[in-house]
Amino acid sequence: MIKAGIYGSSALIDPVRKQLLRLLLRHPDVDLRAVASPAGNTVPIAELHPVYAGETELRLERVLNLDKLDLLFVIDEENLTDEIMDKFHAEPDFKLIVLGESPKLRATRPGEFVYGLPEYYRKALVRGARAAFGPRAEAMLIELALLPLAKQSLLEGGISIEMATNRPHTLADATAEAATTLREVQPSFEGTFTSSTLPEAPYDRLDLVARLSTPLALEEIEHIYEEAYSDHGFVYLLPATTPIEEDLRGSNKCLIQLSKSEGTLTVRATLDALTKGCTGNAVHIMDLIFGLHERTGLSI
């Protein structure tokens, strides 16, 4: 069993912590031993979130107890304390996964932390990674939508990004983050990204429309996407005629659709920002770091 803990956020009631608790409490290989936050006083988890009544006796503590933990999830990099980093550097078997707001980690991408996009950095995660941090949800969606093309060096020209998000102020930074990743995958790409927002999507759902020019036939592009994600458990290509209006809350899937008209490829993609874009991705990273099947604890 993975002896895990959660630290953060600075809010007493936080949707990221609540959803991470949901995933870890039902995970068959996790023994959740500590939940702490610098906010507020000690309080039972079931008092904060009554849905967990009967599921756990854990309390949200103010002081973090790191004893005997194999793994710590840190919500927001501001909570990555000296005490946590001292344990990380002193104990080679101790692992860290940072999720939530991590602007410094995303900007600097320090070598001891793996960028937590499993669909591209899976080898790094399964081959001895000790620490990882998650992408912004909006950046992840752009990356997953365009990654198969970048892997084949097919990104070219200007790429238009439109996204429905309830956090429109993050889109410019997310687009820049995704551009950094995609240029790492395809160093030859010298084109530009332009981004704009669509009407807000429901709950924490993100909807993306990306457009770019390509001479390839749609059937060939579909084959590239199917091959790219054939051995990954959470990204699926659907027919362009399939309406994706279903409530994706709690799903760790990213759904993609392709269409083409007069030389312009349109890539539509959607995911749940709170799960696939944050907490579910963190659990996915944990599964890979600890050698578990990547869908463990994340299947519908």
Residue 192: which CATH number?
Answer: 3.30.360.10
Q: Tell me the average confidence (pLDDT) per consecutive run of 10 residues in the chain, 300 residues long.
A: 94 91 97 91 89 92 93 96 96 96 91 96 96 97 98 96 90 95 96 90 90 96 97 94 82 96 95 96 98 91
Quote the pLDDT of residue 92: 95
Quote the pLDDT of residue 243: 83
Are 120 and 144 part of one and the same domain? no
Quote the pLDDT of residue 246: 72
Note down the domain range covering 81.
2-135+276-289
Question: Helix (H, G, I), strand (E, B), or coil: what is residue 191?
Answer: coil
Question: Helix (H, G, I), strand (E, B), or coil: what is residue 95?
Answer: strand
Q: In which residue are the tokens 């609540």 written?
A: 18
**Rounded distance between C-alpha atoms, residue 10 and residue 104, angstroms:** 17
Are 118 and 13 part of one and the same domain? yes
Are 146 and 131 part of one and the same domain? no
Nearest partner of 43 among 20, 13, 73, judged by Cα: 13
Quote the pLDDT of residue 201: 77
Are 9 and 22 part of one and the same domain? yes
Quote the pLDDT of residue 12: 81
Are 123 and 24 part of one and the same domain? yes
Are 148 and 236 part of one and the same domain? yes
Quote the pLDDT of residue 176: 95
Angle at 113 between CA 111 and CA 115, to 5 degrees: 100
Are 87 and 195 part of one and the same domain? no
Q: What is the count of structural domains for the chain?
A: 2
Are 83 and 160 part of one and the same domain? no
Quote the pLDDT of residue 199: 83
